[in-house]
Structure 1
Amino acid sequence: MSGSCSYDADALKKKIRDLEHELQKSREESEIYRALVEQALDAIAILCDMKIVYANQAFLNLFGLKADEDIAGTDIKLLFTEEQLQEIEERLMYRSGRNDVKPCLEMGVLTMDGRRIDVEICAKRFFLSGKELVQWVVRNITVQKSFKEELIKSNEENRRLTKHALDMLTIVSHDIRSPLIAIASTLKLLKRGIFGKLEGGVIDTIDDLLNRVVGLCGTVENCLGKTSAFNGSIVFEKEVLDLRKDIIDPVLEEFIREFEEKEILLDSRFGSIPADKIPIKASKMWLKNVYRNLISNAIKYGGRGCTIAFGFEIHGSYYKLNVYNSGKPIPEEEHHKLFSKFTRIKSGSEAEDDGVGLGLYMIKQIIQKHGGDIWYEAMPSGSNFVFTILKD
């Protein structure tokens, strides 16, 4: 019997030693935690039933509490308004039973020493000795929030100024386009001899002036198109046109000098555009902008000595058209963003990456408003932009 009691006493002593060891280990870990928390730059507090169990020095400094005060048991309600406390309980303290409990919450507070600051409070629930506790990590975000507000104001002002500049540019483009068209018409009449016979040298000068005016008119129309596309204000009235005579040929004339200087070959490998009248109901200015931009891109990315081709097919109620160049195809990773706003094409060519990236975006808007669509096809021998457009 005594041996049995002796065995039980030894086991009990061992149990007590183990408990003392665990308690000492827990104390050491607690001291390490406390030391780390005290050195932390963030404000940290442990709460139980909305009362402070522990808070580090950073927490005291942030909320204007005196360091020499015993804050254990201090009610957190002293630091917040009723509305804020309600939001804290619902969003951070896991008491609402809601599924949208947020781990962090931002709010403005008035500290105990009278400062107004913005804080971010992040909460994490844990259990110790069967008791539910919540750890708060609080950061002062006053400066960051101020910067964010200033950035928002700056962006809004930039948008306002950009819209104003684009509106002005649209007005100027409209005002310039009309006299340019009048000048071009007058030069054509002079060239035909309506105002009297002209010598060969004078005709050559008029041709040169006409080409420059037509090119400038194209630039103005392109500018007008891009500003309108950016503003989402592409508006037009359709008229009955000849696709070749009214759209394609005039645009090609704008690039004749560039074709010659860069030794570019025009080809009809995709199906030549008929010489006969091709009736279409569309906006002359906007449809010319489509071809103007596609040809301009073909020249830029096709490079010197390239081939540019135009295609034409009739498919019931719509035409299928295309503009091809023999330059290097656009990399596959660029395809998905080709027709997005502010996208600049990165191709394998040596073309300069200039412009603002509105050309293809504008083209897509114009074609869709004409009831069609546009897409890109990479080919072994080059790049092909294909689009459809309704006849009527």
Structure 2
Amino acid sequence: MKATQALHNLGQSLWLDTITRALLDSGTLERYIRELSVTGLTSNPTIFEAAIKGSADYDSSIRQKTQAGLSEDALFFEVALEDLRRAADLFRPIYEATGGTDGFVSLEVSPLLAYDAAQTIRQAKALHAQAGKPNLFIKIPGTPEGLPAIEESIFQGVPVNVTLLFSREQYLAAAEAYLRGLERRLAAGLKPDVPSVASVFVSRWDRAVGDKVPAGLHNHLGIAMMGRTYKAYRDLLESERWRKLAAAGAKPQRALWASTGTKDPKASDVLYIEALAAPDTVNTMPEATLLAFADHGQVSKTMPRDGGDAEAVLAQFSQAGIDLEALAVQLQKEGAEAFVKSWKGLLEQIRQKSAQLEKSS
């Protein structure tokens, strides 16, 4: 049995953290679903920037949409949705078979809106309607300003992938927004069955402290932070507040481990996949990591429900001078800034392609 199948059997969903038109056109994504137990997919501005810049696969689509009068972000979202609708259709049987728990793809709102709740709410609703696929998540950053947008979007029935979470506290704030959205739906006589995932980023923790802690602590911070977060996740699912919502038909907002590609070349390329195996969660991984795990990964243990030794490990980082709370805020801020940079690069790439294609047509 492949390690990917074993992880799937454990109850963890394997999602691919990339999308390209070539992945769809070649049948590779379909093969990953069939052979590697991939049951979902995520995207972000960085992924699309690389996909459009690195090939001519999108030229025809960009040309057509430019000639139709589209530009900038409107053109991008149309191009992105062409890919994501196709992917959503491939995952639709999984979505149906799991009762709407799995089989999702994700599209992110403009990163420029990370600190603008009102505009995020409007764009999230519009993009989900534009996509026309029930198994498409709209990604909204879990920044303090994004939390009201998450709550309102859930209330309005928009499936949300909360992104840019790093710590237990940030996860719990996102979960609170989700719960409030569901409770408002119940109070309004609506079904509380709007799906969501909470994406907590892993590897950026270790990259941030790599040269600031003793060698014995290298590549341990991200896993320990996820252990702490996983305990909070399990505790929430056992709470009376959640049980009331579940009894009314609500689905758990599953914890999703993001940024799980190993950044340290000295560490195992499947470090985070093996360490974060846990039922009722999602692991979204880069293509190279997926293939590496399928080739030589092992599923030998699962994450302890109580966090295991996470707190003891985190105490060592605190003793080494790492302010975990401040670093979580910094990482979220840097993550939002990185997506803005990629977004601007993406739009510039589209402008250049549009201009070049118009000249050659």
TM-score of Structure 1 vs Structure 2, range by shorter chain: under 0.3
The TM-score, its normalising length taken from structure 1, stands at: 0.22
The TM-score, its normalising length taken from structure 2, stands at: 0.23
Higher relative contact order (CA closer than 8 Å, sequence separation 6+) = 2
Question: Which is richer in helix?
Answer: 2
Structure with max Cα Rg:
1
